[in-house]
Amino acid sequence: MKKVSILGSTGSIGTQSLEVCEKHGFKVVAVSAHSSVDMLEEQARKFKPKYVGIYNKNKYSEMKSRLADTDIKVLCGMDGLCEIASLDENDIVLNSVVGMVGLLPTLVAINAGKDIALANKETLVAGGELVMSLAKKNGVRIYPVDSEHSAIFQCLQGNKREQLNKIILTASGGPFYGYSYEQLKNVTKADALHHPNWNMGNKITIDSATLMNKGLEFIEAKWLFDLKPEQIEIVVHRQSVIHSAVEYKDFAVIAQLGVPDMKIPIQYALLYPERLECPTKPLSLTDYGTLTFAKPDYDTFKCLNSAIKAISLGGAYPCLVNSANEEAVKAFLNDEIQFIQIGEIVSSVLDKFKFTTISGYDDVMKSDREAREYVRNIIS
């Protein structure tokens, strides 16, 4: 029986991960969340983990009293997340927290020699070099949970890595596919929160609408699969049936298809290399009939362009654009800025900041702080 700890268990990926754990009888060692005490209590009573983590320190005493009649140990804050990430009992740590907060627990889990199922893309965007070199040194495997990266990982099985030409990263295009820059000026928060194919958390849904999500995934792919930026092609595929593809030297292209349901990539990361029945629907290609492909509009969707430029420039730029985006999305969700401003803010980072290198965790956090301060100053 596989033993799993889940960071971010009350979010969209977290709850679907628990469904997968339940289906296959995995032992859930720990669950943790930012501040959703109700759902965390429910999960704790159902899965009987040894530990429950609550990130928001103001909710710690409430969480403790809710579980006072159990033997479950309640942990709190970043220390709690890190303790969960490094528990001896873990076979694998599923990291699905939102944003930069996920970086330190990832590093701690790698240092403890724990394999990681990674759904927190900001971890690789901000600290890609750090995370990948540490994982290599510690012999830790990072299994992608993002559907596109899981698809690529699946397409790489059984073939020689050095015979790979490139990867084809598919993008749904989001709710504003085909919009002009002028049209983007008038979109509302409700429009942006309505994704055509995927049901996800708010942050990633906004990132999908700005196409920042695809930019972050571009950077994530570069680190996960050790690629040059020119080996990554983004193709808009509106139906989200082909989750990504790879091209080999002989120009054979291998793609992974399935219904748009995150439980498939979650399960592959947790069960690798096994393939067992997944709690989802099978794909019926004839239900779709037509699959379409197009080039993304890099001029209109400035976030996508900025993320690709950032990874091509290297150094702290990927971290800076990621943190600026997090802060801008937060401001948009708080009705402080317009949708169109997210892209303007993110792209301005590349001009405002001079090139700096990242040589450790402290450098990442320094860039993170600077980018957030920069965005807060623009907004206020």
Q: Is 83 in the site for Mg ion (CB under 5 A)?
A: no
Site string for Mg ion, 29-68 (x = CB under 5 A): ----------------------------------------
Kindly give the pairing relationship between strand 164-171 and strand 242-248: antiparallel
Smallest separation (angstroms) from Mg ion to the CB of 293: 17
Per CB under 5 A, the segment of 139-147, 282-290, 294-302, 335-343 that binds Mg ion is 139-147
Strand partners, 27: 3
Strand partners, 144: 118
Smallest separation (angstroms) from Mg ion to the CB of 148: 5
Smallest separation (angstroms) from Mg ion to the CB of 144: 9
Query: Two tokens at 99?
Result: 């944003």
Query: Two tokens at 285?
Result: 């290609």
Query: Of the candidates 146, 207, 220, 247, which one interacts with Mg ion according to CB under 5 A?
Result: 146
Residue 43 or residue 150: which is nearer to Mg ion going by CB?
A: 150
Residue 63 or residue 209: which is nearer to Mg ion going by CB?
A: 209
CA–CA separation, 173 vs 170, rounded Å?
A: 9
Smallest separation (angstroms) from Mg ion to the CB of 176: 17
Residue 120 or residue 147: which is nearer to Mg ion going by CB?
A: 147
Closest CA to 233 of 316, 325, 152, 161: 152
Print burial letters for 111-135: b (CB count within 10 Å at least 16), e (below 16): bbebbbbbbbbbbbbbbbbbbbebb
Q: How many helices (H) and strands (E) does the chain have?
A: 17, 11
Q: Is 220 in the site for Mg ion (CB under 5 A)?
A: no
Amino acid sitting at position 208:
S
Residue 147 or residue 323: which is nearer to Mg ion going by CB?
A: 147
Smallest separation (angstroms) from Mg ion to the CB of 73: 34
Residue 172 or residue 347: which is nearer to Mg ion going by CB?
A: 172
Per CB under 5 A, the segment of 138-146, 150-158, 177-185, 314-322 that binds Mg ion is 138-146
Smallest separation (angstroms) from Mg ion to the CB of 201: 12
How many residues touch Mg ion under the rule CB under 5 A: the total is 3
Strand locations in the chain (E): 3-7, 27-33, 51-54, 73-76, 92-95, 115-118, 142-144, 164-171, 232-236, 242-248, 253-257
Residue 34 or residue 149: which is nearer to Mg ion going by CB?
A: 149
CA–CA separation, 310 vs 307, rounded Å?
A: 5
> Contact residues for Mg ion (CB under 5 A)?
146-148
